[in-house]
Structure formats: structure tokens, C-alpha cells
Amino acid sequence: MLAHARSIHSQIGLLVEEMQLEIGPRRQGLQLFLQRLSLRSDLNGEEREALLALPGQPQRVEAHRDIVGLGDDVDHACLVLDGLVGRFAQLSDGRRQTIGLHSPGDMADLYSLMMPKAPSALHALTKATVLRIPHAALRKLTARYPAVGAAFWRDCVVDGNVMGQWLLNVGRREARGRLAHLICELAVRISRSERPSERSYPIRITQEQLADALGLTSVHVNRTLKALREEGLASLAKGQVHIEDWDALAAAAEFDPSYLGLPESRVATPALSVQGS
């Protein structure tokens, strides 16, 4: 009897945990996504509430595991709730190139609504949780509220702009400029301000993962981080980026935040944690 009671108690505990995961983080994640969309799109109260009511299935993913495989046929889009997610392309021999980083509030593969066969894959760089939102629900939402569809379109345009800058980064910038540009971009995206007031932000990313994103070796990343630190521009230590001289760092990166489509007058908001574990 005692063992049976303990089993029932355990099952109830798991059920409560799953319900909390579905209600709390789901709403919080959608709120972050709404805030991201609202940076570039005006949505009325009814449209906002409809977006916040989207259904979704939370999925916990351990670090270094794929969330969406290359070429997978998917019927949902992945909204990052916590952790850090990378998007990557891959050669036939298994070598990968990271082509995007996604933090909480990012719909990492919103484009899958129109292209359900994944042209790139999603990978948990840290322990992460994503909300799997059915394509059917997203289509129903955009059909009823065209302004939400336009907001999705703008978000995908910015996503394309970011990928264009990443291509320029690995194709033309030297290592110092590549790393400086990525640090600046993440600061703007996380603070949601073209000129962040917060000059530090947490991000659990390894030098090997940075190397995959920058098209460098981990040894080269280590040397470049050391150079930026010695120049008094920026540093990365214990999962925390510190920007010492924004103007000099932006100059080294030739960083122009206009491709992110943020209003110049936007006031910075507190930095989001993308630490994961």
C-alpha cells in the first residue's frame, strides 16, 4: 500500500510539473515573442491576446542534442523558452557551420511555416526548452489577423538580414572584426536597443561553439578574445560578456545595427538570460 501511494504521489507530482511547464513558461515565452514582434510591428489588444493564446507543446532538450534535424519534415515551429539554440547547415561528411544563434523569445524556425522541410537544423548549444507551436495554429492566427501575418513577415526579413551579416562576417571580416560584430549583435538583440545601456550580458557559449559560428578555430577564437580584452574593448569569462568600450568595439566590427530593424529611439530593456546549463 505504501509503495502504491508513493507511486501515485510521484505520478501526481510529474503531472503538476508538466502542467506548470505548459502554462507558465508557455505564456512567458509567447510574451517574449510578442515583445520581439512589437519592436517592429503595431498590434492591437485583440491581436496580442490571440497570439498569447497560441497552443504549444514544451520540449526539454539536453545540451548538444538536435531539436530539428536537417531535412526533417516538421509541422510545428520552435519558440525558444530558455537556453541557447544554434541553427546550422551541414556537409555530407558531417561538418557543420553555425548560421544563427537564438535566445529566449526567438521563433527559431518561423520560416518553416512556409518551408516545412528543414533547410537547416536546430541544435541545443546548452540545455534548452522550446515550445513546439503547430503550423496549423499559426496559419489560423495569420488568416484571422493579417497584421500578425505581416509581423511574422517582418521578423523573417530581419532573420534574413542577420544571416546576410553573418555571411559577410565569415566571408570578408578578419577574426577581430568577426568576434566584435557578433558581440555587438548579441548585445543589441538581447537588450533590444540599438545602443544598449547594459554593457554586459550572460551567455553560456563555449569557444568551440563560437568558432563554429565565426568560421575560425577555437585556438584562433581564444587569441582573438585575448586581444579584445587587452585592447580594453570586451571580454568573455565564466559565461558573461563584458563590453568595456562600446564605440571602439562597434568601430572594430564596422557594426551598423540598422539591419536589425529596431527604432532608434527604443529604450533598452533589461538583458535576458541565455545561459542555459
Q: CA 168 to CA 95: how far, in whole Å?
A: 20
What CATH code would you report for 173-260?
1.10.10.10
pLDDT of residue 263: 80
Q: Looking at the predicted structure, is the pLDDT value of residue 86 above 60?
A: yes
pLDDT of residue 7: 52
Q: What is the mean pLDDT of residues 215-238?
A: 97
pLDDT of residue 272: 40
Q: What are phi and psi of 87, to 5 degrees?
A: -105, 135
pLDDT of residue 265: 42
Q: Looking at the predicted structure, is the pLDDT value of residue 88 above 70?
A: yes
Q: Domain-by-domain residue ranges, the chain?
A: 2-158, 173-260
Q: What is the mean pLDDT of residues 270-275?
A: 44
Average predicted confidence (pLDDT) for the chain? 89
pLDDT digit string, tens, across residues 140-181: 999 999 999 999 999 999 999 999 999 999 999 999 999 999
pLDDT of residue 271: 40
128-134: strand order across its sheet: 57-61, 128-134, 76-82
Q: Say which DSSP state 259 is in.
A: G
* Backbone CA torsion sign across 10, 11, 16, 21: positive
The grid coordinates of residue 252 equal 572594430
Q: Looking at the predicted structure, is the pLDDT value of residue 113 above 90?
A: yes
The grid coordinates of residue 51 equal 497570439
Q: Say which DSSP state 64 is in.
A: T
Class of domain 2-158: mainly beta
pLDDT of residue 1: 52
pLDDT of residue 23: 59
CB-count exposure of residue 42 (10 Å: 0-12, 13-18, 19+): exposed
Mean pLDDT lowest among 7-16, 216-225, 260-269: 7-16
What is the pLDDT confidence band of residue 198, given thresholds at 50, 70 and 90?
confident
pLDDT digit string, tens, across residues 9-55: 455 444 445 444 455 889 999 999 999 999 999 999 999 999 999 99
Q: What pTM was estimated for this model as a whole?
A: 0.85
The grid coordinates of residue 229 equal 580584452
pLDDT digit string, tens, across residues 120-147: 999 999 999 999 999 999 999 999 999 9
* Backbone CA torsion sign across 147, 151, 152, 157: positive
Bridge partners for 104 per DSSP: none
Which helix or strand (DSSP H or E) is residue 200 part of? strand 200-202
The grid coordinates of residue 187 equal 548585445
Q: CA 193 to CA 243: how far, in whole Å?
A: 15
pLDDT of residue 195: 81
Closest CA to 210 of 80, 106, 98, 90: 98
Bridge partners for 90 per DSSP: 96
